[in-house]
Structure 1
Amino acid sequence: MSSTEGLKSRSKALKPLVTARISKSEEKKSMMEEFEPLSPASRLYHERSNNCVIIVIIGSKMKIDPIVFKAGIEKSLVKHSNSRFSCIQVMDKGGNINLVQTKVDLENHVYVPDLDPNMDSPDQFVEDYISNLSKTSIDMSKPLWELYILNVKTAEADALVVFKIHHSIGDGLSISSLLFACARKISDPDQLPTLPFQKISPKKSQFNWWWIFAKIWMAFLWFWNTFVDVWMSTAVIMYLKDVHTPLKGAPGVEFRQKRFVHRTVSLDDVKLVKNSMNATINDVIVGVSTAALSRYLNRRYGDGEDGTDTKINNLPKNIRITASIPVNIRGTAEIRKFAEMMENDETGIKLSNRNGYVLFPFDIALQDNPLDYVHHAKSVIDRKKQSFGPICAFLSSMLIIKFFGYKVAVALFERVFAHITVIFSNVAGPLEEISMFGYPITYIAPSVYGHPEALTLHFQSYANKMTVVLGVDEETIPDPHQLCDDIEKSLKLIKEAVISRQ
């Protein structure tokens, strides 16, 4: 599909709809329940240049019975009245979008293609099939989600489930938490999955001059770091942009078909590096990504020759590659609340988009010591943790929408995305193996498309695995599997460097 064709198809996706009331009982609902305005943050995901759709690929250890899986969806995601999975989004005459409750017909949402179990190259078929899903928009006359059940055996799974969910329904954290609320531990089918939450250190009650000085110094650091992050975001909007590299997509890349590939590595290897370097998992995977991107670009600039093994540096000087990293600003979502929401129609929390972002500059270079990639990532991330930059980014976008309208807000977002190169995300998954509606899960691979970047890097932990998911524009990155190899190789080199120094 060409950029022009994609632009036309997406521009026709959102238009005013005439909806009838579902039933007489629905007529008794209040106007607030029947017509709930879509939040400004969610509304931004309907703009042509930011019409984002979340893809979640789930591998199953068993062949899936569509009837059983659809029954599970009906009893969970679309059961309760608070769910955006049972709402259509209607544009009124004023251009506002409202959420309207409707009756969900699963036949219009769940698709089960008839596949040849003896096909050649099933992994390639699945990859092509999921890639083709990014060609089309979701029909606005129904709730904005679709589900595909692929009963084909691949190298990692006996069957796959692919969720296609419009980003206006919710952000990555709320969507993943809701899906995890549909799952149960394999070891204890009555228990919800356990997610890793950051522990809060107990507050110390010592009041002395050193304590007061430390508090003042910390307040200054927060203020200064926030100022730097806000200035950096402003500079990116105004003039500061990444140089053109083989990772940088051309204008219109948001309308082109994307390809999604993944690679599963050992989470224990990541934790080994984390514990040895007194870092976090996020520090390690950012460091690994920096090493992998350096390795990949060195090969591309060297006309395909892997100079990282021969120490031949093909990288131009002063390469600037920036990633936008979404940051949840509402606190950690608890999947138990989502589970209660599905059990009780009157309680629970609603899906939403409440993400700020940080701009992370990748230090692209060939380092003699692989651990330097992690050291640099940790130093930058530690500083950004002591900043209100993500909150300022979210609040400023809401203020811009309120006072200047969506067109101005979208124009500013377009400049940010046009000036950076990568979308990066890390989602913490269950600590133990889980099943969904009775089907044991072997891996989880989320991604997103519809934004103006040629490369999206997602990391998803699950039990003792870490799945790396790449969403790429093939015209820009024709060899995504090679980049997966570089990520796996970079983790191995960093792990070996950690072991050798012990």
Structure 2
Amino acid sequence: MGLGTPVNLPVFRAGIQTELPRFPRFRSIQVLDGSNNGKPHWVQTTVNLDDHIILPRLDPAVSASDPDKAVEDYVSSLSTLPMDRSRPLWEFHFLDFATSEATSTTVLRLHHSIGDGMSIMTLLMASSRSTADRARLPAMPPLPRRTGAIYQQRTRPPLSSIGDYLAWIWSYFVLVWHTLVDIALLNATLLFLRDPRTMFTRVPDKVKSPRRKRLVHRSLNLDDVKLMKTAMNCTINDVLVGVTSAALSKYYFRKSGDAKTKRIHLRSILPVNIRPLSSRQTYVTKVETGNQVSILICPFHIALHDDLLEYVHKATRSINRKKSSLEVKYAHVASNFFVEYFGAKIGAFFLRRFSTRTSILVSNVVGPAEHITLCGHPITCMAMSIFGQPQVCRMS
């Protein structure tokens, strides 16, 4: 998180002490003993803030010559360090020097067992205040036209003719066909189907040592994205996936020098919250209740096009095709079944199989609709990501 002012550690510390202890998982550790049939469970513990506030010592010359790279290098180094499981699994790292986008930087590093991206963003919004009015919570973006789950069918239109009736019946045939095809491909991926090896494929590591992840962020003008969305009659997600596809395509063909190959068939995993979108507009904490998360496996377009808008067209067609399928519902029900009857390790094994047989992980998290202040510090930018997943590439 980029801060608009230098770090005032006593103020930030007081904010942390006020906000985070309200949420039990931020003052709990996971233990494995005989009190819960041998299953991991949360146990309350005493939080010593000094264990969770870290002030790294970086070379002043390096941070002064290229501060953006210094931040990237430091965050990248965190991906190789295990977390101390004897205390709650979260840390604040403060880098008190200016970058191109912020006066100072703080890195919130926490374990995925505390919450996923959407729940942590909800937590940050619940713990922050509007910069324009410190007395209120920040406003969230307005609800999109679709407020139901991603697979929810639209309300049946008025059937004024036999053609309308047949079109309505045909939409259900399409839904069934797409669902059967997607389920077959999902099962094939679990058993044997995998993406071709490219520079986006992780090389098997027999040593199982931690691998350094490079976390890089780029700020885009949201007004430009909305302009493209309106002009192309698609969604913001379609535009962002298309832009990402274009960027990775250029990177791939530039680095590989493979000018003869015009297209590479890769796939991506998209985590999806299947709860209605209206539920995330409220400031109830998902850190404790969790989200109903499932996955989609979508084609990811790596190709060379003279018309750059073709990447957005491809992304729109691919995502619209997935919306006409119950694949996400099937994946959710199946994963819950295996976790409930065979244990969390079987569920984790299946998820890792999907991750090692696809190339890219793509996700997004909706943030606030206005500038926010967290623990007395205005936020200028925020970038979220994860490390530890098998894929080489993760876009969020």
TM over 0.5: yes
Note if 1:283 corresponds to 2:226. no
Query: What SS does the aligned partner of 1:446 have?
Result: coil
TM-score by length of 1: 0.71
Task: Say which of 51, 71, 86 aligns to 2:27.
Answer: 86
The residue aligned with 1:263 is 218
Instruction: Answer yes or no: is the 8 Å Cα contact 1:168–1:353 preserved in 2.
Output: no
Aligned residue runs from structure 1 range 368-447, under 5 A: 368-447=306-385
Task: Say which of 177, 191, 195 aligns to 1:238.
Answer: 191
Deviation at 1:223, TM superposition (A): 2.6
Instruction: Answer yes or no: is the 8 Å Cα contact 1:291–1:373 preserved in 2.
Output: yes
Instruction: Give, as a single letter, the amino acid of the residue that structure 1 aligns with 2:29.
Output: I
Cα displacement string for residues 83-137 of structure 1 (whole angstroms, at most 9, x for unaligned residues) = 3112111112444111112222211112123567665332222222111111112
Query: What SS does the aligned partner of 2:385 have?
Result: strand
The residue aligned with 1:41 is none
Aligned residue runs from structure 1 range 73-222, under 5 A: 73-80=16-23, 83-93=24-34, 94-113=37-56, 119-121=63-65, 122-196=67-141, 197-200=143-146, 206=158, 213-222=166-175
CA distance in 2, matches of 1:349, 1:108: 21
Deviation at 1:68, TM superposition (A): 1.0
Query: What SS does the aligned partner of 2:264 have?
Result: coil
The residue aligned with 1:33 is none
Instruction: Answer yes or no: is the 8 Å Cα contact 1:112–1:149 preserved in 2.
Output: yes
Pair 188,254 (structure 1): closer, same or farther in 2 beyond 3 Å? farther
Pair 243,381 (structure 1): closer, same or farther in 2 beyond 3 Å? same
Deviation >6 Å, runs of 4+: none
CA distance in 2, matches of 1:205, 1:381: 23
Instruction: Answer yes or no: is the 8 Å Cα contact 2:268–2:300 preserved in 1.
Output: yes
- Fraction of identical pairs, as percent: 39
CA distance in 1, matches of 2:292, 2:155: 28
Query: What SS does the aligned partner of 2:383 have?
Result: strand
User: For structure 1, which segment, 189-198 or 164-173, has the greater mean C-alpha deviation from structure 2 after superposition?
Assistant: 189-198
Deviation at 1:395, TM superposition (A): 1.9
Note if 1:331 corresponds to 2:286. no
Cα displacement string for residues 401-448 of structure 1 (whole angstroms, at most 9, x for unaligned residues) = 233334433332222111111111122221211111221111001110
TM-score by length of 2: 0.88
Cα displacement string for residues 454-473 of structure 1 (whole angstroms, at most 9, x for unaligned residues) = 11111xxxxxxxxxxxxxxx
Deviation at 1:363, TM superposition (A): 2.4
User: For structure 1, which segment, 122-131 or 134-143, has the greater mean C-alpha deviation from structure 2 after superposition?
Assistant: 122-131
CA distance in 1, matches of 2:281, 2:25: 16
The residue aligned with 1:247 is 200
Long gaps (5+) in structure 1: 1-57, 303-312, 342-347, 459-502
Query: What's the Cα RMSD here?
Result: 2.4
The residue aligned with 1:448 is 386
Long gaps (5+) in structure 2: 148-153
Pair 251,351 (structure 1): closer, same or farther in 2 beyond 3 Å? farther
The residue aligned with 1:354 is 292
